[in-house]
Structure 1
Amino acid sequence: MNLHDRATVVDGLQISNWSRPVLEELRAGGVSAVNATCAVWENAADTLRSIGQWLELANRNPDLVFLAKTGDDIDLAKQQNKVAVFLGFQNASPFEDDYRYVEAFHRLGVRIGQLTYNNQNLLGSGCFEAQDAGLTRYGRVIVTEMNRVGMLIDLSHVGHRTSREAIEESADPVAITHSNPLWFFDSPRNKPDEVIRALVDRGGVIGCCLYPTVSGGEHVTLRSFCEMVRRMAEQYGAAHIGIGSDCTRGWNQEFVGWLRNGRWKPTDPQHAPSWPQWPAWFKGPSDFPQLTEGLSAAGLDDQTITAILGGNWSRLFSEVMDVVKEPANV
């Protein structure tokens, strides 16, 4: 059995249009667990519908997938040759202005929540805002609630100041599920050293991201990406590095306009955004074995590679999700 087949692969985030064929791509790539986005701009009611769709998909494909709730489910999925799906939000919009929705959605299976998506919201600033005012009073309440119920905090699309303050506020380690360092590629979506350092100092994990707009576009090479991962491991410690592909399988061109603009901004039909081209060596999750080969060629040893491919996510998920929390104060 080769290294990739032995490893437990966890993808820090995908936002695909889920179906059995898309899930089969994960299994073909040896992926045992994934953080699957089920809300970005949706309010609470729309998010309930999205969770219901996931329940239906899982119920119809029990040989392939199950909805995960604990870090231990990752090992179970590996043993059963299935995909453990951790439902996640890429925005706090489903919580609306009611902190009790954190526990409500946790009880429905949501295990990961990103605080903002590019824009300012009730919790704090997104990474595309010109001014980052930091974590709000409500944001601090939501961080506390997410800690209490065992929901992993994600800072991928969050502004730098808000990210630092969320890391400081959180009693648990947090994640950046799908971003890269600014020194690798200059994008508002990527993170400066001060944010990554604060994250790892508190035990968090950053998922190096393959999405073209944050990794350098379709011409980024496997070698350069894997050398970036190696440098990250050397700089911040191999125990704090993962992979978050940010795959977008199965969507049409209209969805990317909604993803970027939601309902807060009109999409100009004459200048509608389109999906970027992915590099030839990684078109989707079935290409994860090539990434493993690239990490090996970059000089990483087998133990480090298996940690980056999934071991570090497994540890973090267990640390945040599997601990018995205090009862609700409501």
Structure 2
Amino acid sequence: MFFADGLNCSNFDRAVFQELVDGGLGCVTVCLGFWEDAVASMDALGRFRDLVRANKDLVAIARTGAEIEAIAGSGRCALVIGYQNTAVLNGNIRFPELFADMGLRVLQLTYNNQNEFGGSCYEPQDSGISRFGREMIPELNRCGILIDLSHVGERTSLDVVELSEHPVAITHANPATLVPHLRNKSDTLIRALAARRGVIGLATYANICGEYGASPSKWADMVAWTVDLAGIGHVAIGTDHGRNVGMPDLTWMRQGNWSRIINYGAGNAARPGKVAEPGWIDTMKSFGAIATALAARGFSQDETALLMGGNWLRLYTEVFGETDAQKQLAA
């Protein structure tokens, strides 16, 4: 069975790559940045490429669905490059094409603040999609970059779902009906996403799981509820797992250079630091426990295969398309 994680925010090293392989992961979307501009984001990508080359026996970067399947078929984990903010684009409509050429395949439209494209889930007022956003969406579609709505505001997200020619994703969030939190998503948005062939990746991140993070069986209950809402073809896993992440990393994620005031992100004053991963998935070696819990919950083998990775592979294949080199060979 093909396993995929729609978002993993670890600080990767060989040990973490080995955990991915040991957990049977065929594909993981990685986060290489939050607030960094184009140059800093290119530097992060360059350093990550160095790391991947040094561990090519375990991992490789994938740009297409076919490449994901080939890498996973070799017994390694395919890595899909993503950033959690459009700061990487420096406000330039031409930069998505350049970053796509460098391997970028998943991009979140806004992070924790409103930006030039639209509103964030943490803003008290969600402006909806901006004029620039209306131009950026078709550009991201053209370049084969999957649009992520995980931290995007409700109104802006609904605008994106409607305007995007390609299906979009919520790579790491949970239903707000089950776990009320600004980071989680309404039934209306989840239904709209599914109606346009999109996928929501349910997270194991404790701050947005509530009681559903207590055990694999409870988490499977949340999966079943979401499948009833969205359909079996539109639910997957986006753990938001974070290995080797400490307080300096969290402070950068939550505040960047824009604030002098303490921000807690999805946490709060009572839990300001890094929350422990659930004991049943404290490393990605335990990823298969989800499949076991889904089967125990009553999902068939085919349904479990979709939830564990098949739905991500379908979406990635549809959105990423072929690389320019493949198009030239076919011409």
**Alignment pair present for 1:175 and 2:172:** no
Q: Which residue of 2 aligns with 1:145?
A: 139
Separation of aligned partners in 2, 1:119 and 1:225: 29
Separation of aligned partners in 2, 1:119 and 1:127: 8
Indicate conservation of the 8 Å contact 2:212/2:218, yes or no: no
Change (3 A) 1:217 1:44: farther
Moved more, 203-212 or 284-293: 284-293
Moved more, 129-138 or 249-258: 249-258
Separation of aligned partners in 2, 1:222 and 1:312: 20
**Alignment pair present for 1:206 and 2:206:** no
Which of the numbers 215, 230, 235 marks the counterpart of 1:236?
230
Q: Which residue of 2 aligns with 1:287?
A: 286
Moved more, 260-269 or 228-237: 260-269
**Alignment pair present for 1:14 and 2:8:** yes
Separation of aligned partners in 1, 2:308 and 2:215: 19
SS, match of residue 223 in structure 1: helix
Shift of 1:289: 1.4
Separation of aligned partners in 1, 2:288 and 2:255: 34
Identity of aligned residues (%): 37
SS, match of residue 279 in structure 2: coil
RMSD: 2.0
Separation of aligned partners in 2, 1:133 and 1:149: 26
Separation of aligned partners in 2, 1:105 and 1:208: 27
**Alignment pair present for 1:65 and 2:42:** no
Separation of aligned partners in 2, 1:206 and 1:286: 22
Q: Which residue of 2 aligns with 1:83?
A: 77
Which of the numbers 34, 44, 47 marks the counterpart of 1:50?
44
Give deviations 1:43-81, integer Å, cap 9, x for gaps. Answer: 001001000011101111111111110011221122111
Give deviations 1:236-288, integer Å, cap 9, x for gaps. Answer: 11011100000110122221111111111125599993111222111121111
Counterpart residue identity of residue 48, structure 2 = W
SS, match of residue 287 in structure 2: helix
Q: Which residue of 1 aligns with 2:179?
A: 185
Extract unaligned runs of 5+ from structure 1.
Answer: 1-6
Separation of aligned partners in 1, 2:307 and 2:192: 19
Q: Which residue of 2 aligns with 1:3?
A: none
SS, match of residue 53 in structure 1: helix
Separation of aligned partners in 2, 1:81 and 1:219: 29
Q: Which residue of 1 aligns with 2:276?
A: 277
Counterpart residue identity of residue 38, structure 1 = L
Indicate conservation of the 8 Å contact 2:63/2:323, yes or no: no
Give deviations 1:2-58, integer Å, cap 9, x for gaps. Answer: xxxxx1101000011011111111111110111100111110010010000111011
**Alignment pair present for 1:117 and 2:116:** no
SS, match of residue 280 in structure 2: coil
Indicate conservation of the 8 Å contact 2:204/2:213, yes or no: no
Relative to the length of structure 1, the TM-score reads 0.93
Extract unaligned runs of 5+ from structure 2.
Answer: 264-268
Q: Which residue of 2 aligns with 1:130?
A: 124
Which of the numbers 94, 101, 104 marks the counterpart of 1:107?
101
Change (3 A) 1:116 1:217: farther
Moved more, 306-315 or 74-83: 74-83
Q: Which residue of 2 aligns with 1:311?
A: 310
Indicate conservation of the 8 Å contact 1:42/1:94, yes or no: yes
Give deviations 1:130-153, integer Å, cap 9, x for gaps. Answer: 000101111111111100111001
Give deviations 1:144-195, integer Å, cap 9, x for gaps. Answer: 1100111001000000000000111100000101111111211111000111
Separation of aligned partners in 2, 1:41 and 1:147: 22
SS, match of residue 185 in structure 1: coil
Q: How many residue pairs align between the two structures?
A: 321
Indicate conservation of the 8 Å contact 1:257/1:272, yes or no: no
SS, match of residue 81 in structure 2: strand
Shift of 1:218: 9.0
Give deviations 1:201-248, integer Å, cap 9, x for gaps. Answer: 000000011111111179622222101101211221101110000011
Q: Which runs of 4+ in 1 moved over 4 A?
A: 267-272, 323-327
Indicate conservation of the 8 Å contact 2:4/2:27, yes or no: yes
Q: Which residue of 1 aligns with 2:266?
A: none
Counterpart residue identity of residue 120, structure 2 = G
